[in-house]
Amino acid sequence: MTRFLIKRIALLVPVVFGIITATFLLMHATPGDPALTYLGNHPEPAAIAALHHQWGLDKPVTQQYLDFIGGLFTGDLGNSLFYNETIVKLISLKLPPTLMLMIMGSLFGIIFALPLAIWTAIRKDKFIDHLVSLLNAVILGMPIFFIGAMGILFLALKVQIFPVGGYGETNLQHLWSLVLPSLTIGLGLVPLLVRSLRTSVIESLDSEYVAFARSKGLKNRSVWLKYALRNGSISGISILGIQVGYLAGGSLVIENVFGIPGMGSFLMTGILNRDFPVIQGATLTFAMLVVLVYLLTDVSYALLDPRARFK
Amino acid sequence: MNAMNSGAMTSNVLEVEDLQIVARIAGRDYIAIDNISFSVAEGHARGLVGESGSGKSLTLRAIMGLLPANVRVTSGVIKFQGQDLLAEGGKYRKSVLGTGISMVFQEPSVALNPVMKIGKQITDSLMQHSDLNRKQARERAIDLMDQVGIREASKRVDDFPFQLSGGMKQRVMIAAALACGPELILCDEPTTALDVTIQAQIIELFKKLRSELKVSLLYVTHDIGVVAELCDAISVMYSGRIVEQADDINKVFSHPRHPYTKALLSAIPRIDGPIQRLKGLDNTGPSLTQRSQELAPPMTNVEPGWQIAPFEFADLDALWSASSHE
Amino acid sequence: MSTSLSLRPNILSRLRGFRVNNFRLYLGIFIIFVVVAMAVLASHLTKFDPISQDLLNTLQGGTAEHFLGTDNLGRDVWSRLLYGGRTDLFLASIAVLAPFVIGTVVGAICGYFSGWVDTLVMRIADVVVAFPFYVLVISLVFILGNGVGSIFIAISLVSWVAYARIVRAETMIVRSKEFIEAAQTGGISNQKIITRHVLPNVITQAIVYAMSDIVLNIGVIVTLSYFGLGIVPPTPDWGRMIAEGQQFLAGGYYALTILPALAVVITSLGLSFIGDGLAVALRVKR
């Protein structure tokens, strides 16, 4: 297990390095001048030069790159142009709601998807299977902000169960205000999860070990729960892990629809304020988050599947 | 079923009568098992011999109700302890699976759940059929593992299948099949996937279980040597039909009547001669979709408890020319 | 079995096994045909300009004149739906082309030759997919500046990876097949083997994926314009329509939000059907 971990983390190094480089290139080597974008139309040349100096843009690109990496090692991602605060501090404030949203969103996703996957696998090619697959295609075609908007309309405005938006004051209010956004993300996740989960449950149900379980006289319920569900959810971990990109993108959109002060609205306000260091920091954080989840997925898969654990 | 039960001293655990199984392939129905009848007497073992593709495994799965979705029983009766397993949508069968009949599968490496501890797999049917608690079930699992010859059972009970060798996995499966004390165990080529030395050990184990537990066996194999060692009765299958069967295995072994049986017996490797192989045993006989779709003619009695299917001399020629090829 | 080369399966021979009762495929083609026809023939299907405002007739329900009503600026909703579809569909389909071509070529080369080029490209792919699609595209569109061109470049930079991975995996399978080995020993050039023997076998996977990729593109394009990025107003677009309509949801003007969303859903559904149908017809595993 330790060897597995070391190997897995070693594989991560080039990717992390690539992410850092890509983020740097995104901000520094693209056409357009952040100072121009920041100052708007027809700025004074002196003002541009001052900004370039302040941001270190007058140095050679290689030097900027080394400075950027050096800053990362010392935990310095620069300062926001808009808020008078370091990026690291801002991210530490904005990350918790996003993490919470992603976790609750995936929980809802699993809660919806797993029973549907098992049900459609058992009733393969029957009416319910076709119906679920049609509904999945419909949900897949809905932009996630629209699902969120409908959620607000029906569950916050019509039936006033949930708040329309915002994040509340207390921890309990935080949690409560995340329910509708998480439901939205969870619903969006359902088609992505059901398709792969259903396939893995079908494989499991068609397997020899399920035939053996049936030959022992186990009831359907035991076969479905102890065999199809157990084996299906182990592959479900990796199926969910693959979707972390969707989760992150979904929370970016949903935070802005519901006005939740997380990484997504942080990035979006950064864009509206033309706050380059914020955009850079937020993009980098999102990518690191994805890579971290990939790692966690592999590790938890190894923990759950005895074959991987003992290797 | 005519003469087979004649003068039955013992009653039959299992009776299969005129069983027909049809497989649907690419929208067409094909007869996979053609009106076969046989029985397993209490405490006895019947070997069901044939090449792969002859329908032996399908017969077992039909008894257990584990047929694939495109395969179905179209006619016939399968009786366990005199009661029809197929009646009422298999309701009676559900009640005897595990407790009355159990099955040992061919490939222990795929038939055991890879993510479940072996102890749990041995006793999960027992847990369902009795009111044992977890601790008692665990004790029982260890007892059963001892019984099937797994050493240091108390240490291995929490192992996962991948931690065991093939032979040990097969013992685990046998232990699971024994857990609820069944009267009949169906064996689907249980030694085919194993090394030769391990095969011999598993055969010994089955012999021991037969003498100690008086359990009846329906033993499917393509290895007629195993049948000679383990079984009292034999049914020879070819291409979805039974071509010869006898309640006394020695009769068939000393005077085989059907040319296919003769060919099968001559294919046993002998120490004193060159290895002879029947061509039909290397290949798999006609594939399902190429078989004759005519119904099989009824079998005739050689004497009570010994039957053969009618055959033409053309068949005989074909088989012998095939065997002399190599 | 005259030569092993003749065993090479190609798209044509797979299409010959086309299932006639592939209902999903035909339904999908029908839906997309209708949607595309409406977008193309927009100017014949409405007499209203999608961007001309009529501040005296705002937020009307269906009337004889405006049969789907008007929005908050008095613009005809039907006309905006048609022209908005033109914008989104055109952009989403065009944006699929570059990633399709780049990804397929890169994937085939990586899968066929392996080696350090393959390793390098796949590590780059790992880096690209580490960025969530929406995060990367939104950041890129901001950096490159609003406009259709930026959307196009941003999507192309991200989406090639999926095609490259799919085609690479398929190529590696095909490469080990007999007919490729036969071609190699027969002295046929690598370039010819890739274009004549490998690509025809692996491209079906990419084609099937392209259908879901267009759905993905429509999603990101309308999301961008929902947030006021990418497509610049007053160009009509479904995402912008939903965003503007949403302000009037509480007032009970549901149609302004639901109609453009319905257009997105129907279009995506049609494309999904085509994708599923093609997967069945071309016997592609999904």
Residue C194 lies in a domain: yes
Q: Which residue has the tokens 């009646």?
A: B87
Residue C59 lies in a domain: no
User: What integer is the mean pLDDT of A180-207?
Assistant: 91
Q: Which residues have CB under 8 Å from A6's CB, separation 6+?
A: none
Proportion of chain C above pLDDT 90, given as a percent: 31
Report angle CA C87, C88, C90 to the nearest 5 degrees: 70
Would the CA dihedral through C3, C8, C11, C13 be positive or negative?
positive
Confidence of residue B263 (pLDDT cuts 50, 70, 90): confident
CB of B276 closer than 8 Å to CB of B326: yes
Which DSSP state fits A82? S
Residue C60 lies in a domain: no
Encode pLDDT of A32-43 as tens digits.
Answer: 677 777 777 777
Interface of A with C (CB under 8 A): 14-15, 18-19, 21-22, 26-27, 30-32, 137-138, 140-146, 149, 152-153, 157, 195, 244-246, 248-250, 252-253, 256, 267-268, 271, 279, 282-283, 286-287, 290-291, 294
Residue A9 lies in a domain: no
Encode pLDDT of B177-217 as tens digits.
Answer: 999 989 999 999 998 888 888 888 999 999 999 999 999 99
Q: Is the pTM of this model over 0.90?
A: no
pLDDT of residue B128: 87
Confidence of residue B290 (pLDDT cuts 50, 70, 90): low
The interface pTM score, or ipTM, of the predicted complex is 0.85
Contact B173 A212 (CB under 8 A): yes
Residue C203 lies in a domain: yes
- Residue A120 tokens read as 């459609």
pLDDT of residue A309: 63
Question: C205 lies in which domain range?
Answer: 12-47+67-281
User: What integer is the mean pLDDT of C137-144?
Assistant: 85
Structural domains in chain B, CATH included, are 2-100+236-323 (3.40.50.300)
Residue A6 lies in a domain: no
Question: A180 lies in which domain range?
Answer: 97-262
Chains in contact with B via at least 3 Cβ–Cβ pairs below 8 Å: A
Encode pLDDT of B69-112 as tens digits.
Answer: 889 999 999 999 988 998 887 888 888 998 999 999 998 889 99
Task: State yes or no: pLDDT of A250 exceeds 50.
Answer: yes
User: What integer is the mean pLDDT of A259-269?
Assistant: 93
Point out the least confidently predicted range of B112-126, C156-170, C238-252. C238-252
Residue C218 lies in a domain: yes
- Residue C167 tokens read as 């085609």
Question: Which DSSP string corresponds to B41-98?
Answer: ETT-EEEEE--TTSSHHHHHHHHHT---TTEEEEEEEEEETTEESSHHHHHHHHHHBT
Task: For residue B112, give how far its alpha carbon lies from the nearest alpha carbon of chain A (Å).
Answer: 5
Residue A191 lies in a domain: yes
Dist CA A158 CA A152 (whole Å): 8
**Which of C:206-225 have CB within 8 Å of A?**
215, 219, 222-223
Helix (H), strand (E) at residue A174 = helix A171-205
**Which of B:47-66 have CB within 8 Å of A?**
61, 64-66
pLDDT, mean over chain C = 83
Chains C and B touch (3+ CB pairs under 8 A): no
Of the candidates A137, B124, A105, the one whose C-alpha atom is nearest the C-alpha of residue C266 is A137
Point out the least confidently predicted range of A272-286, B190-204, C243-257. C243-257
Task: State yes or no: pLDDT of B139 exceeds 80.
Answer: yes
Domain count, chain C: 1
Distance, C-alpha A1 to centroid of its chain: 27
- Rounded to the nearest 10 degrees, the angle between the axes of helix A87-122 and helix A171-205 is 40
Encode pLDDT of C265-274 as tens digits.
Answer: 999 999 999 9
Confidence of residue B294 (pLDDT cuts 50, 70, 90): low
Q: Distances from the Cα of C86 to the Cαs of C50, C90, C91, C222, in angstroms?
A: 12, 6, 8, 13
Q: Which residue has the higher pLDDT, B36 or C69?
A: B36
Confidence of residue C57 (pLDDT cuts 50, 70, 90): confident
Task: For residue A137, give how far its alpha carbon lies from the nearest alpha carbon of chain C (Å).
Answer: 6
- Residue A188 tokens read as 């969006």
Residue C134 lies in a domain: yes
> How many angstroms separate the most distant Cα atoms in chain B?
63
CB of A27 closer than 8 Å to CB of A275: no
CB of C163 closer than 8 Å to CB of C206: yes
pLDDT of residue C2: 34
User: What integer is the mean pLDDT of A262-286?
Assistant: 90
User: What integer is the mean pLDDT of A71-80?
Assistant: 86
Task: For residue C18, give how far its alpha carbon lies from the nearest alpha carbon of chain A (Å).
Answer: 20
Encode pLDDT of C187-202 as tens digits.
Answer: 788 888 888 888 888 8
- Residue C219 tokens read as 């999603």
Encode pLDDT of C151-174 as tens digits.
Answer: 898 899 999 999 999 999 989 888
Residue A239 lies in a domain: yes
Of the candidates A182, A203, A195, A199, the one whose C-alpha atom is nearest the C-alpha of residue A137 is A195
Confidence of residue C285 (pLDDT cuts 50, 70, 90): low
Nearest CA in chain A to C119: A14
Which DSSP state fits B235? E
User: What integer is the mean pLDDT of C5-10?
Assistant: 39
Encode pLDDT of A84-97 as tens digits.
Answer: 889 999 999 999 99
Task: State yes or no: pLDDT of C8 exceeds 70.
Answer: no
Domain count, chain A: 1
Q: Any idea what the CATH number is for the domain that residue C84 is in? A: 1.10.3720.10
- Length of chain C (residues): 286
Q: Any idea what the CATH number is for the domain that residue A118 is in? A: 1.10.3720.10
